[in-house]
C-alpha cells in the first residue's frame, strides 16, 4: 500500500528488502501529495497524450521555479512536442524550450506564442551564464549521451540558488513494474539504460548542484499523459498499438515474438483473474517514478 495522501512518511524505511537511499542519497521524507503542496502549483495540469518533452528553462527572476504540478510532472530544456512547456507557460512562467530536433520543435511551436523555442542540444546551449531561474527535465535524461556535460551546461545558465528538477524513474523502481512479467526482455533493456539515483546524484553534484532530494511519485489512476507505466492500473492500454508506439521501450526493444507472446499471456491472465495477483506482487512503496530536486551552488 502507498502512504496516505495527507500523511508524512519516512521514505528510507519503506522498502522491506533494501534502502531507498543508496550511499546516503537523500530521499525527501514526505509523501508525494505533501511534496506537491510544498513545491507545486495548485490545480491539475495534464497533457492529453505522450509528450516527448525533455528540458525547459524558466526565466522569471521574481518567482521561484514551482517544481510540481498536482497529478502530473513538471515541464523542461529539450522540449519535444512542448506539452509540459506550454502548460507551465499558462501558469505564468516565462519559458524557453530547447530541443535538438527541428521536427519536434515544429510540432511544439504552434502550441504557444509565449514560449521561446530554441533548436539546440542540452550540453551546448546558446544562453548567457546565469540567465535563467530554473530548469526542469522530464522523462529524458536516460536519452542524454553525456549527462554530466548536460548538467554542467544547465548549471552554467542557472542563477545560483535556483532549482533544477528532474522527473525520471530509477532501475530499482522499474524492476517492480508488473509489465516486466509479460515483456521481460523489453523491460530489461529499458532498465539497462536508466541511470541509478546514485549516478544522477553524483553527476549533479559534480556539475555544481547540491545533493538532490528524491521525492517518489506514484502513477495515479486517472493519468492522462501516457508514458511507459501509465497502464499500471489500466492494463488495456498495452493492447493499443498507438499507445505502444509512443513508448520508446516498445519501439526500440520489443521483438514481434515477445510482443505477441506478452500480449497473449496478459490477455489470458486478465481473463482468468491471475493478473490481479501479478499486479499485487508489483506493489511498491518507493514510488513508480521520482523527482530529483537540486539547487545550483
Q: Is 292 a residue whose pLDDT tops 60?
A: yes
Percent of the chain clearing pLDDT 70 (strictly above): 73
Q: 245 by DSSP, 3-state: which?
A: helix
- Specify which residues 132 forms β-bridges with: 158
The pLDDT tens digits of the residues spanning 134-171 come to 888 888 898 888 999 999 999 999 999 999 989 899 99
Q: 187 by DSSP, 3-state: which?
A: helix
pLDDT, mean of residues 116-120: 86
Mean of the per-residue pLDDT values for the chain? 76
Maximal C-alpha separation, the chain: 60
Give 151-154's long-range contacts (Cβ < 8 A, gap of 24+).
151/203, 151/204, 151/206, 151/207, 151/209, 152/123, 152/206, 152/207, 152/208, 153/122, 153/123, 153/124, 153/125, 154/55, 154/77, 154/122, 154/207
Q: Which of 48-57, 80-89, 105-114, 188-197 has the lowest mean pLDDT?
A: 48-57
The pLDDT tens digits of the residues spanning 87-109 come to 778 777 788 888 888 887 888 88
The pLDDT, as a whole number, for residue 23 is: 34
| E-only strand ranges, the chain | 41-44, 55-58, 69-70, 95-99, 116-119, 132-138, 158-168, 213-217, 289-295
Q: How far apart are the first and last CA of the chain?
A: 37
The pLDDT, as a whole number, for residue 267 is: 98
C-alpha distances (whole Å) from 217 to each of 32, 48, 192, 229 are: 6, 19, 21, 12
Q: What are the residues whose beta carbons fall under 8 Å from the beta carbon of 51, sequence distance 6 or more?
A: 80, 81, 82, 83, 84, 138, 225
Q: Is 30 a residue whose pLDDT tops 80?
A: no
> Which of 63, 148, 53, 55 lies closest to 108, judged by CA?
53
Backbone angles phi, psi at 294, to 5 degrees: -130, 155
CA atoms of 156 and 241, how far apart (whole Å): 41
The pLDDT tens digits of the residues spanning 183-236 come to 999 999 999 999 999 999 999 999 999 999 998 999 988 787 788 999 999 999
The pLDDT, as a whole number, for residue 80 is: 60
Which CATH topology does 11-171+195-226+285-295 take? Answer: Rossmann fold (3.40.50)
The pLDDT, as a whole number, for residue 100 is: 83
Gyration radius (Cα) of the chain, Å:
19
Q: Which 8-state DSSP code applies to residue 241?
A: H
Q: What are the residues whose beta carbons fall under 8 Å from the beta carbon of 276, sequence distance 6 or more?
A: none
Q: Is 13 a residue whose pLDDT tops 70?
A: no
The pLDDT, as a whole number, for residue 264 is: 98
Amino acid at each position: 500500500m502507498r502512504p496516505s495522501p495527507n500523511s508524512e512518511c519516512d521514505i528510507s524505511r519503506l522498502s522491506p528488502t533494501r534502502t531507498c537511499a543508496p550511499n546516503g542519497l537523500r530521499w525527501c521524507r514526505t509523501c508525494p501529495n505533501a511534496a506537491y503542496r510544498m513545491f507545486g502549483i495548485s490545480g491539475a495540469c495534464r497533457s492529453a497524450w505522450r509528450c516527448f518533452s525533455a528540458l525547459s528553462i524558466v526565466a522569471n527572476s521574481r518567482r521561484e521555479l514551482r517544481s510540481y504540478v498536482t497529478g502530473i510532472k513538471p515541464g523542461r530544456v529539450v522540449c519535444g512536442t512542448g506539452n509540459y512547456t506550454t502548460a507551465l507557460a499558462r501558469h505564468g512562467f516565462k519559458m524557453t524550450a530547447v530541443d535538438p530536433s527541428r521536427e519536434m520543435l515544429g510540432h511544439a511551436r504552434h502550441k504557444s506564442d509565449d514560449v521561446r523555442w530554441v533548436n539546440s542540444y542540452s550540453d551546448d546551449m546558446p544562453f548567457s551564464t546565469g540567465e535563467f531561474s530554473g530548469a526542469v527535465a522530464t522523462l529524458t535524461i536516460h536519452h542524454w549521451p553525456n549527462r554530466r556535460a548536460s548538467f554542467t551546461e544547465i548549471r552554467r545558465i542557472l542563477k545560483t540558488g535556483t532549482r533544477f528538477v528532474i522527473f525520471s524513474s530509477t532501475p530499482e523502481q522499474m524492476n517492480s513494474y508488473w509489465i516486466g512479467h509479460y515483456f521481460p526482455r523489453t523491460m530489461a533493456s529499458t532498465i539497462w539504460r536508466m541511470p541509478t539515483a546514485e549516478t544522477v546524484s553524483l553527476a549533479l553534484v559534480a556539475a555544481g548542484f547540491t545533493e538532490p532530494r528524491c521525492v517518489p511519485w506514484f502513477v495515479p489512476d486517472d493519468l492522462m499523459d501516457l508514458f511507459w507505466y501509465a497502464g499500471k492500473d489500466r492494463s488495456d492500454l498495452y493492447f493499443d498499438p498507438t499507445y505502444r508506439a509512443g513508448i520508446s521501450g516498445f519501439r526500440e526493444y520489443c521483438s514481434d515474438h515477445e510482443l505477441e507472446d506478452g500480449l497473449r499471456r496478459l490477455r489470458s491472465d486478465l481473463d482468468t483473474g491471475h493478473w490481479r495477483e501479478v499486479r499485487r506482487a508489483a506493489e511498491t512503496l518507493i514510488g513508480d517514478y521520482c523527482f530529483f530536486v537540486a539547487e545550483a551552488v
